[in-house]
Structure 1
Amino acid sequence: GGNTIYSSSAGFNYNIAGIGRDDSSNLNQKQSKTENTASDITVGLSTIEATNSDNSSTFTSDRNFLVWGNNNATLASQSPIIVNMSAGISGLTTNVDFVSVGRIWRVVETGSVSKVKVSIPSVMLTATITPPGDFLMFISSSPIFSPTAEYRIMKQVGSNLVTDYDFNGVKYITFGYAPERTFVRSVTFDGTDDYLDAGNVLNLNTSFTVSAWVKRNSTNKTIISKRNSAFTTGYDLKINSGGFAEMSWKNGASTQTITSTVVIPANIWHNVAVTFDGSTAKLYIDGVLNVTGSKLPATANTESFLIAAADGNTPTSFFNGTIDEVRVWNSELTVSQLRYIMNQEIYQHTDSTVNGRILPQSVTLNEVKTIPWSTLQAYYPMSTYTYTNAKDESNNDYTASIRNLTTVDYQTAPVPYITNA
């Protein structure tokens, strides 16, 4: 007798489909969708192509399968799942929510199937939409989806919504929408397991600027990074073991590092910025140039961009303290430009240039009105959220998923800066 790869007694027996490899029967199905209806998910090994034969992905070994079916429940919206992202901050509430459809899919892995691409027609989720916001796929070990359930952000590709996930064992998934919620906040990280993950985005340009407001509680911790834990690839902006601001990046096998000559004091807000023009790096503390050095450009990599940690696969170097106003640019900003927007949140002006939220564009000596908004590669003001995701306010929409975090905090960074008359 053979082995069961999908149990019909589980109650998820509608529109069953699957992918897998079975050498004895010459099965090599790399992508699949039920033939019964267009309104269902498509799953492909690594990718989804026009046909199965066009998918060049390979299963690692014989008798690996991934099979799924659904419970045929309604596609109407359900009661929202609500999370208070400030549950760890006394007296502060930051409620975000997620609205799913009623239908649930059961996904069963036999053997070991690597990461797959999941696609669903966007019209299946129209009952849940209250734009603006993000579509999400929720994942759970049971048919109950709690506020701590895992999820993936879905991106629009043509008429479909797609995401990637590596299923292990038996999982249940559903789909829905998280409306945008806006608060005046920063994010406090516990130094143990809190971080934000934007995925494989934000390789450094040949010329770049990165900056953030930080209030550190300890040392040797990452502010932003896109590297592996061994740091054989990528880049990292951190507070080093001595309390100095430090940015390092890999150029091939060589490490390029610039380190401040002054300690960043604990429990006090400071702005840390690094600019690079392709050959010269500059490190600024609170808009004041501290260190200059000749460096080589950064080499691109496939790691995840993280805020408050390093290495998306096995996170480490967790930041202990508060971070706000993270910005990544694909050009070198001048010291005047840095200072002009350092103490302001920024937004896209009607002429598609950068503008500060406090000073009007018409102000004399506006240092940023010639900078195209498209130069801004990512901008996390930590104020707009879709469920437990921090919105990237740049044109790229590199939403960052919040991991293990209940301390979205009051905004206390000096943004906007207020002076006494």
Structure 2
Amino acid sequence: MRINNYLGLLAVLLVFFTSQTMRSQVDYSSTNFNIELKDAAFTKSANLPVRINTILDEFWIVSEEQQQNGFVNLIFDLSQSSVNLEDNVQLIVSENPEFSNYMNFPGELNTQAQTLTFSNIDLGSNQVYSLAYVNELNGENQIDFNGIDRYIALDKSFDLHSEFTVSAWVKIGELKEMAILAKRDNVQDKGIFIGLNQTGQIKLEFTDQSVQQMISNTVLPLNKWHNISIVYKDGNATILIDGMLDSIQEINSPGLNSVQVLLGASGEQSVDHFFNGSMDDIRIWNRALDAQELAFFMNQEIIQVNGMVNGSITSSHINSDTSLIPWTDLNAYFSLNRISGNCLVNHSENLKHGQLFNFPNSSLHTQTAPMPYKTISDGNWDDVQTWLNGNSISIPASESIVDMSTRVGWNIVQIDHNVTINNNNELRNLSALMINGSKLTVTGSNATSTGMGLEISNYLKLDGVIDLEGESQLIQPKGSVLDPASTGTIERDQQGTADNYTYNYWSSPVGSVNAATNNNPYTLPQVMHDGSQDITWLTSGYDGSAGSPVSIADYWIWKFANQPGGNYSGWQHIRSTGMVNVGEGYTMKGPGSGTINDQQNYVFKGKPNNGTIALTIHSDNEYLIGNPYPSAIDAKQFILDNSPLSGDLGSTTGTLFFWEHYGAGTHSYSEYQGGYAVYNLSGGLPAARYIPAGSTNEVSVGENTPGPYIPVGQGFFVIGKNNGQIEFNNGQRIFKPESDESVFLKSTDNTIEEVDNRPKIRLGFDSVNGVQREILITQDTNATTGIDFGYDAQLYEDQIDDMYWLIADGKHVIQGIDMINADTVLPLGVHTQTDGINAISINSLENFDENLDIFLHDKVLNVFHDLGQSAYTVTLDAGAILDRFELTFKVKSTLSLEDETINQLDIRYDNSNSMIVIKNPNQVDINSVTFYNMLGQPVFNNSEIGLADNLKYKVNNLSTGAYIVAVSTPRGKETRTVLVK
């Protein structure tokens, strides 16, 4: 029996049923075609075929003296019959009166005329047809092939020639050469074969007179569901297994033929290569899908929405990285959710259905392929007993059978039970996750700073709980959606200071919960807890207290939202009752449960924030904001997303400021010890440190240098560059445990440095009053010698003593520059509160040119001090000094023997004997020795020296401070800075 699109002979057959008689009229244009009515006396099988309730006693036999390439329309007038038209009455056609392996066709009912019309039916010679009540099976099914005689015949017009994709879920039952899909005749001179070889590898054969073969690298295991995809385009065939690329091979396109496509077998007149196993969700596309599109739809059925292909769970409109696919690009879609008689319904638009051969009802089962993955009991994620049909599927997000070093990262999972994931410090990726009234625990430890990343790339429906233990994080990348109707929560620990007197700058990764919107404003009692208990918020007094739960003095809860910079009155006192917008930061002190070095754990509970979050900022205003997500964010990406490069004027200056409170032991603002660490595109700097002489306060020297990642719950300041929006978005989110991050909520000793190959100089300043400041210069081709967005960081807070780069008369602690060479001159500014000794030194060099020496030029003394040899110590008067110091550079030259001899001079000051001591082991000829104070005034000079190996000169009545000893030789001048105590 054939069905094709060629319309040749058109015969209209009118069959009239009355209560007394039945007759047929045949209108035909060729005497070679005839239809004969058989009455009830004609012997017909008494056994009903599978999925048939009743067959009419009457049936018709077609005779064809020669093959006709045409169709007929059959019109049954049932107005006088007892046939119930409300039932599923269909035309059935078979090669025999037993109606085995029949074909069935639904008709078009005219309720007014009581006629049933079957159009474009291709009837072959000796075929038998009648009307029957057909059973229809609906639901999520799979179909089992016995490897003996079962197969599914599809239309012969499917184009598997130039560009196509074939995909299906398969579970193989034995190792033998067998077909999954084939379109080739028994001569096998043209066509395509997709199947398996005797070892369980996927086998492709493209034939056009000669056979081209392709074998997968991967062996499919027995009795396990796997999704296979074959993609052909531009002369290349690709095999993917579970969405993972197995192999790609250049291969000529298969030849065209006019035979049927078979599922589970191969051939035409003689069918062979029968498949043994199960299949589900078979799709044939007339386009080449890419790996991302295949992965997106792999664990879900597909539906049509506004003419486009959508997932039944996740819409293709969700993720902007997945292109929209027209439904017309789908040639065939057999979900197995609807089987009517022997008709396997094709859900694509072309309605070319499949015919089942030799499939009893026992071969049709409830779906066991993971469409999607579903839990069946409480348990561990990696335990097969946790999952529905766990013994016949791979664990979701487990290692790919294609590459065991790579996990499948696009599964769709539905959790209806309490499940635990405990793979430490790994990232598990899913396409979609639905949690229904249950709890998913992602294990980790606060003590060891360990945890897991759970990434949901497309869709999250949260009607339960996700417990992110330790450093575990929830990541939703760009395009990933949190269903606004979600009513569940996440729990995420974070640690702040336990000290009563010390601020942390916070930001919540969750908002308040409702069933309509995401990213909702909150008050602190709604989101911040002490473990499973509510914090006791003290509305009077200034001190919190330890206990269970802890008590927090809400007097210290403030925010600074888009206020003029430097304006202390701009702080907004919100206490525990004020609303905080998602993305805003707030201050809070600890409960007094420990010292400044101790940690207090808190638990954020609420609806996780997700997607784009925007806050308005005005030019020159400052805003205390913070990471709004339950994952780390990439600081660089955040800066770039708020830069002129992002398409607008750039809302911020491109620098982030992180408060670090490291001492004081008091609530008095004037006695706070702390500062702002800094990060921008040039790198990070620790906060300036102030250690007053004889201090008895708790002091933990600020040592945290910001890295490129901002941890969960971290607040920080930005400065407005232009009127605009501060934007957070999912493209900034990343999984980074805090051992890899910029950490300010708590200290860590195992921070892993970012790999950054740019040359950097970290210059240190140790002041007379105990201030320690580090400033940074970074060589980057994106920067200039002027002020550049994101590369130059202004001095955010003046310490009593400080040092900074001078760029365009502005004070900066970070400077980016396109090139550092011998011609580079970098002006430095310094100010001190009191007179005294200060030191400038190189704290560290990173990737710096070893052939370049770094000098501090003291223009007052006209001294170039080699900072690579030692710090430059200088006595300074109180006040600002903006034109005395600069950093310069010099290319190292190869030293002659005389240069090496001069460098061996040992010049020092003996404070106990008030003497200049010069050790000259090589007896260099010395012309003079001069002693200068830091004002450039000589306080001692001796020009009568000559050759000597040990020189000592008494210098009395010197004030305490730094001095320069200059030794003049015929080869040049050597200088040393010495300290007189």
Q: Taking structure 2 as the reference length, what is the TM-score of the superposition?
A: 0.32
C-alpha distance 67-329 of structure 1, shift in aligned 2 (>3 A): closer
Which consecutive unaligned segments of at least 5 residues does structure 1 have? 1-29, 45-50, 54-58, 60-64, 74-79, 84-95
Q: CA deviation at 1:290?
A: 0.9
- 1:188–1:322 Cα contact (<8 Å) kept: yes
Deviations 1:265-287 (CA, angstroms, capped at 9, x unpaired): 11111111111122221110111
C-alpha distance 387-155 of structure 1, shift in aligned 2 (>3 A): closer
2:351 matches 1:397: yes
Partner-residue secondary structure (3-state), 1:122: strand
Q: Within 2, Cα distance between the matches of 1:41 and 1:108?
A: 15
Alignment partner for residue 52 of structure 1, among 30, 33, 37? 30
Q: Within 1, Cα distance between the matches of 2:13 and 2:319?
A: 63
Partner-residue secondary structure (3-state), 1:339: helix
Alignment partner for residue 209 of structure 1, among 157, 165, 171? 165
Q: How does 1:9-408 map to 2 (within 5 A)?
A: 40=24, 42=26, 51-52=29-30, 68-71=36-39, 83=50, 96-97=51-52, 103-106=58-61, 114=67, 119-124=72-77, 129-130=85-86, 135-139=90-94, 141-142=96-97, 149-154=100-105, 161-168=119-126, 172-176=128-132, 178=134, 180-218=136-174, 219-250=176-207, 252-349=208-305, 351-365=306-320, 367-368=322-323, 370-406=324-360, 407-408=363-364
Q: CA deviation at 1:258?
A: 2.4
Q: CA deviation at 1:209?
A: 0.6
- 2:94–2:101 Cα contact (<8 Å) kept: yes
Q: CA deviation at 1:34?
A: 8.2
Q: CA deviation at 1:247?
A: 1.8
Deviations 1:300-327 (CA, angstroms, capped at 9, x unpaired): 2111111101123211000000011111
Identity of aligned residues (%): 24
Q: CA deviation at 1:102?
A: 5.4
Q: Within 1, Cα distance between the matches of 2:57 and 2:210?
A: 52
C-alpha distance 128-40 of structure 1, shift in aligned 2 (>3 A): farther
Deviations 1:202-222 (CA, angstroms, capped at 9, x unpaired): 121521111111100122110
C-alpha distance 179-124 of structure 1, shift in aligned 2 (>3 A): farther
Of residues 34-43 and 263-272 in structure 1, the stretch that sits farther from structure 2 once superposed is 34-43
- 1:305–1:312 Cα contact (<8 Å) kept: no
- 2:143–2:336 Cα contact (<8 Å) kept: yes
Q: CA deviation at 1:410?
A: 2.3
Q: Within 1, Cα distance between the matches of 2:164 and 2:231?
A: 6
Partner-residue secondary structure (3-state), 1:395: coil
Q: Within 2, Cα distance between the matches of 1:408 and 1:414?
A: 17
C-alpha distance 35-272 of structure 1, shift in aligned 2 (>3 A): closer
Partner-residue secondary structure (3-state), 2:319: coil
Q: Within 2, Cα distance between the matches of 1:200 and 1:52?
A: 26
Runs of 4+ residues deviating >6 angstroms: 30-39
Q: Within 1, Cα distance between the matches of 2:242 and 2:271?
A: 29
Structure 2 residue identity aligned to 1:315: V
Structure 2 residue identity aligned to 1:359: T
Deviations 1:356-413 (CA, angstroms, capped at 9, x unpaired): 1111344234625x10000000011112011122111111112111111121122111
Partner-residue secondary structure (3-state), 1:379: strand
Q: Taking structure 1 as the reference length, what is the TM-score of the superposition?
A: 0.71
Structure 1 residue identity aligned to 2:225: W
C-alpha distance 278-182 of structure 1, shift in aligned 2 (>3 A): same
- 1:203–1:226 Cα contact (<8 Å) kept: no
Deviations 1:99-139 (CA, angstroms, capped at 9, x unpaired): 65554235568xx75468563433536856559x7843334
- 1:101–1:128 Cα contact (<8 Å) kept: no
Deviations 1:69-109 (CA, angstroms, capped at 9, x unpaired): 35499xxxxxx9673xxxxxxxxxxxx44665554235568
Deviations 1:152-199 (CA, angstroms, capped at 9, x unpaired): 344879x6524334434xx75313464643121100110000111123
Q: CA deviation at 1:229?
A: 3.0
Partner-residue secondary structure (3-state), 1:119: strand
C-alpha distance 335-150 of structure 1, shift in aligned 2 (>3 A): closer
2:680 maps to which residue? none
- 2:35–2:60 Cα contact (<8 Å) kept: no
Partner-residue secondary structure (3-state), 2:256: coil
Give aligned pairs, total: 346
C-alpha distance 281-176 of structure 1, shift in aligned 2 (>3 A): same
Partner-residue secondary structure (3-state), 1:229: coil
- 2:237–2:250 Cα contact (<8 Å) kept: yes
Partner-residue secondary structure (3-state), 1:301: coil
Structure number with the bigger relative contact order (C-alpha 8 A, sep ≥ 6) is 1
Deviations 1:321-358 (CA, angstroms, capped at 9, x unpaired): 00111111011101000000011111111x11001111
1:18 maps to which residue? none
- 1:43–1:117 Cα contact (<8 Å) kept: no
C-alpha distance 361-387 of structure 1, shift in aligned 2 (>3 A): same
C-alpha distance 71-161 of structure 1, shift in aligned 2 (>3 A): farther
C-alpha distance 220-214 of structure 1, shift in aligned 2 (>3 A): same
C-alpha distance 373-130 of structure 1, shift in aligned 2 (>3 A): farther
C-alpha distance 300-128 of structure 1, shift in aligned 2 (>3 A): farther
Partner-residue secondary structure (3-state), 2:249: strand
Which consecutive unaligned segments of at least 5 residues does structure 2 have? 1-8, 18-22, 42-46, 109-116, 375-412, 414-418, 420-439, 441-981
